[in-house]
Structure 1
Amino acid sequence: MEDVIELLQESAQSVAFGLELPDEDDLVMIEEELFIPLPSDLRLFLLELSNLVIGSLEPVTITDPQAHTHLPDVAANAWDIGVPRNLIPICETAQGYYCISEANEISLWQGQQQTDDIWPSIWHWAKDVWLGS
């Protein structure tokens, strides 16, 4: 996991106006808004990497409620089209939503249908999908 975090940080594009990283209080506020606890991998991902710009994918963020990647808005949209409520979307794409389970497993959902694409953790997904986007 630490190797993947370092790799992602080194691969990030520099941007003039980036997002701030959240703190624990921000995470608690989001959990209260979603009415669901954030899986441990997602918590660490948000705390360490949610300010990075890498490739063409834009994972969820929580520090700017106006951002199109703001987690509560992305989650509401995903749940409205049929993604199960116990999953939290981590990234919206043209193919659907990458979602994380309570067990930290990532899967790709297209509406109410889970595809065959599954990663054992957000770190595998970040290295295999986000970094390569």
Structure 2
Amino acid sequence: FYGTIELASVTKDKKYNMELSQVLHDAKEQGLPNHWLPICEDNGSYYCLLPNNEIRYWTNDGYSDETWLNLADWIKKVWIEGN
């Protein structure tokens, strides 16, 4: 990971709290839309990859209007420049 952001990872260690299947399970329990893939957890909210390649920020109290054009845009603006 870089700075304060740690991406969800595919690992054999299912007890790892940022293991993708666990992040997905936790997000779905909070109501994340089925077609959204959480790539990063942020204090109970999630950065998600959508089918159209956008990244959207989702909070468990509803949708946020924060969006990025694609993963590269999110990496630059949030992960690198935000840290």
Report the Cα offset of residue 68 of structure 1: 1.0
2:6 aligned residue = 58
1:82 aligned residue = 31
Describe how 1:1-133 pairs up with structure 2 within 5 A.
53-63=1-11, 64-94=13-43, 96-111=45-60, 113-131=62-80, 132-133=82-83
Unpaired runs of 5+ residues, structure 2, are none
Contact map agreement 1:107 1:115 (CA 8 A) in 2: yes
Paired-residue identity, %: 33
The alignment yields a C-alpha RMSD, in angstroms, of 1.4
Structure 1 length as normaliser, TM-score? 0.57
More strand by share: 2
Larger Rg belongs to: 1
| C-alpha separation in 1, matches of 2:49 and 2:37 | 5
Count of aligned pairs = 81
| C-alpha separation in 2, matches of 1:105 and 1:71 | 19
Detail structure 1 runs of 4+ shifted over 4 Å in the superposition: none
Unpaired runs of 5+ residues, structure 1, are 1-52
More helix by share: 1
Report the Cα offset of residue 112 of structure 1: 5.4
Contact map agreement 1:87 1:100 (CA 8 A) in 2: yes
SS of the residue corresponding to residue 48 of structure 2 reads strand
Report the Cα offset of residue 85 of structure 1: 1.0
